[in-house]
Amino acid sequence: MSEHRENLKAIVLWWLGTFIALLLIIFNTIFYEMLKKSFYTRVENSLAIVANQTKEHIIPNSEKVITLPQKLDYPISPVMIAVFGAKNMKIVAKTVTFMDIPMYPYLKSSNNFFIVKTKKYGKISIYISRIISPMKGYIVVATPMYSVDEKLQDILIKMLILNPILLLVLLFGANVILDRILNPIKEITKAASEISVGDLDRIIPLPMQKDEIYDLVQAFNKMVIRLRDGVEMIERFNSDVSHELKTPLTVLKGELEIALRKDRDCEYYKNTLKVSLVEVNNLIEMVEEMLLFTKIENEIDKKESVKVDEVLLSVVSSLSKKAKDKGVSLKIERLEACEIETNPILIRTIFVNIIDNAIKYNLENKNVYISLYLQNNTLIFEVKDEGIGIKQNEISKITERFYRTEKSRNRGVKGFGLGLSIVKRALEILKGDIQIESEENKGTNIKILIKL
């Protein structure tokens, strides 16, 4: 795994180095050309000043002969000056240092003209300006470019030396940053490879800086916690199921063993089969309720627009026969039209289990009062019964899986203690809450609150 990480880092550094190198080449090329243009522009401006100063100090001796001024305070040095006539394009006057440079192709180009020519002795810049007085012609001012070229060459050498150093510094910084980025990923990879069902306690420390890596580590830790909770739930579930299945299976085994010890009459076998059938039906009902937990877990991310009042009426209608058989009346005290974004299966599961419990633990010829309404952006579902009630020390336990109150067991009320635990899990998914108030022999009030 470490080898893969190093390979990834090497590839990233290679491409990053190539990209930075190209950027440096492009930037330095543009910078050098701009600097060169700036130097040449300064030379051109200086030569233009020399030309204008020379124009102002030309001394005419006759109509055909002129004398150039003595050296003035020129802004550039050395300079070479020559004056060309307008008709024959020949030199009328020049300084001693003026070189023999062919000017004829450029003299008629424009009033002002700047060129840089390469001679065998190096580059030379030339500025040409038209003269109108005291004679018509052109003044040519030139200067060698060796000082400018030396400066440019010196800058170029420094750039060639500094750029590789800058590239190495940037790559070193990138390497440090990559280590900071990849180390948490390395930790995640290591933790993921070490995680097993028996070891889900590995939590990766969160980075100091809150960035994408921080979010990744946080998401990984949350995933591990969810896995740990899931494994604990499965282990607890398996333990509870083993305990609850033991009783009906023991009864079945005992009945069958007694029936097979010796020959019995037909009536005895019928009674044995009846007892066995009851226990088998109990097992089937228990398994169906346990499978409901799995079904609920698959509904976590499912939501749609649900008319919960219609769902409630449907549940009341489906349980009305059971209530009638028990001698219990289902009464709707308050019902508001409520359409919300939620999971219809979870909502129905909550309604069914709460009302079914109210019927199951109620007394004959008593009532179950049902309410559904919205209040303060909260969906409230309330069920009151007039049944056996719950002891205060048992209220906090009745949402635990397979827990049944002592009074319900003594009265022989059929059930497995799964209904309210199913409701509790559904409410955890819906971000809801359950409130239970009860008094022995007076009844129970259960209120469900789901924030919208």
- 217 neighbors 207 (Cβ within 8 angstroms): yes
3-state secondary structure of 203: coil
What pLDDT does 407 receive?
47
Averaged pLDDT for residues 87-92: 77
DSSP states along 380-449? EEEEEE-SS---GGGGGGTTSTT---HHHHHTT----S-HHHHHHHHHHHHTEEEEEEEETTTEEEEEEE
Which position has the token pair 């083993």?
A: 242
Domains of the chain listed by start with CATH number: 2-152 (3.30.450), 195-298 (1.10.287), 300-451 (3.30.565.10)
- The letter for the amino acid at 128 is I
Round the CA-based radius of gyration of the chain to a whole number and report it.
49
Tokens describing residue 408: 């319900």
- 281 neighbors 410 (Cβ within 8 angstroms): no
What pLDDT does 400 receive?
67
What pLDDT does 370 receive?
92
Q: How far apart are CA 435 and CA 411, in angstroms?
A: 25
Averaged pLDDT for residues 180-192: 71
With 90 as the cut, is the pLDDT of residue 371 above it?
yes
**Greatest mean pLDDT among 241-255, 263-277, 375-389:** 375-389
In DSSP terms, 60 is beta-bridged to 66
DSSP 372: E
DSSP states along 175-200? HHHHHHHHHHHHHHHHHHHH-BTTB-
Residue 339's CB: how many other CB atoms inside 10 A?
A: 11
Counting residues of the chain whose pLDDT is more than 70, the rounded percentage is: 74
Which alpha helices (H) appear in 57-99, and where do they start and end?
none
Closest CA to 141 of 122, 121, 105, 115: 115
Averaged pLDDT for residues 194-212: 67
Q: How far apart are CA 135 and CA 364, in angstroms?
A: 133
With 90 as the cut, is the pLDDT of residue 149 above it?
no
- 155 neighbors 169 (Cβ within 8 angstroms): no
- For 7-45, write each residue's pLDDT tens digit: 777 888 888 888 989 999 999 999 999 999 999 999 989
Which position has the token pair 């020379």?
A: 54
- 131 neighbors 112 (Cβ within 8 angstroms): no
- 444 neighbors 436 (Cβ within 8 angstroms): yes
- For 155-164, write each residue's pLDDT tens digit: 989 988 998 8
Q: How far apart are CA 12 and CA 38, in angstroms?
A: 38
What pLDDT does 196 receive?
63
Q: How far apart are CA 19 and CA 328, in angstroms?
A: 80
- 371 neighbors 423 (Cβ within 8 angstroms): no
- For 118-133, write each residue's pLDDT tens digit: 877 778 888 988 887 7
With 90 as the cut, is the pLDDT of residue 72 above it?
no
- For 400-411, write each residue's pLDDT tens digit: 655 555 444 444
DSSP 205: P
**Greatest mean pLDDT among 32-41, 212-221, 423-432:** 32-41
Q: Give the pLDDT band (50/70/90) at residue 175.
A: confident
Counting residues of the chain whose pLDDT is more than 90, the rounded percentage is: 10
Q: Please report, for residues 231, 320, 424, the alpha-carbon distance to residue 431 in angstroms, rounded to integers and kept in the order given.
A: 22, 29, 10
Residue 281's CB: how many other CB atoms inside 10 A?
A: 11
With 80 as the cut, is the pLDDT of residue 445 above it?
yes
| Three-point CA angle 283, 286, 290, nearest 5° | 135
Averaged pLDDT for residues 177-189: 73
3-state secondary structure of 49: helix
Residue 49, Cβ density class (10 Å: 0-12 exposed, 13-18 middle, ≥19 buried): middle
The helix or strand, by DSSP H or E, that contains position 379, with its residue range, turns out to be strand 378-385
Q: How far apart are CA 346 and CA 355, in angstroms?
A: 14
- For 294-322, write each residue's pLDDT tens digit: 666 665 667 788 899 999 999 899 888 88
Which position has the token pair 């209530």?
A: 323
154: left (phi over 0), alpha (psi -120 to 50) or beta: alpha
Averaged pLDDT for residues 276-287: 74
Residue 289's CB: how many other CB atoms inside 10 A?
A: 17
Which position has the token pair 């599961």?
A: 349
**Greatest mean pLDDT among 239-248, 258-267, 399-408:** 258-267
